Structure 1
Amino acid sequence: MSQAVLEPDAAAARNMDLLRFATAGSVDDGKSTLIGRLLYDTKTIFADQLEAVEAASASRGDEYTNLALLTDGLRAEREQGITIDVAYRYFATPKRKFIIADTPGHIQYTRNMVTGASTADLALILVDARKGLVEQSRRHAFLTSLLRVPHLVLCINKMDLVDWDKEVYDRIADEFTSFAAKLDAPDLTIIPISALNGDNIASRSDKSPWYEGPSLLHHLEHVHIASDRNLVDVRFPVQYVIRPQSTTVTDYRGYAGQVASGVLKPGDDVMVLPSGLTSKISSIDTADGPVDEAFPPMSVTVRLTDEIDISRGDMICRPHNAPTPAQDIEAMVCWMDETAPLRVGGKYTIKHTTRTARTVVRGLQYRLDVNTLHRDESAQALGLNEIGRVRLRTTVPLLADEYRRNRTTGGFILIDEATNRTVAAGMIIEAS
Structure 2
Amino acid sequence: MFENLSDKIDKALHILKGHGKITEVNVADTLKEVRRALLDADVNFKIAKEFTNSVKEKALGQKVLTSLQPGQLLVKIMRDEMAALMGSKAADISLQGNPAVVLIAGLQGSGKTTFSAKLANFLKRKKGRNPMLVAADVYRPAAIDQLKVLGEQIQVPVFAIEGNKNPVEIAQKGIEHAKTLGHNVVIVDTAGRLSVDQEMMDEIARIHRAVKPSETLFVVDAMTGQDAVNTAKAFNEVLDFDGVVLTKLDGDTRGGAALTIKATVNKPIKFVGTGEKMDAIDIFHPDRMADRILGMGDVVSLVERAQEQYNEEEARRLNKKIATNKFDFEDFFSQIQQIKKMGNVKDLMGMLPGMNKVMKNIDIDENAFKHIEAIIQSMTPQERRNPEILNGSRKKRIAMGSGRDISEVNKLIKQFEDMKKVMKIMQSGGPRGLTGLMRGMR
Taking CA–CA contacts closer than 8 Å with sequence separation of 6 or more, which of the two structures ends up with the larger relative contact order?
2
Asked if Structure 1 and Structure 2 have the same fold, meaning a TM-score greater than 0.5 normalized by the shorter chain, the answer is: no
Instruction: From the two aligned structures, give the one with the greater helix fraction.
Output: 2
TM-score range, shorter chain: under 0.3
Q: TM-score, normalised by structure 1?
A: 0.25
Q: TM-score, normalised by structure 2?
A: 0.25
Question: Who wins on radius of gyration, i.e. which is larger?
Answer: 2
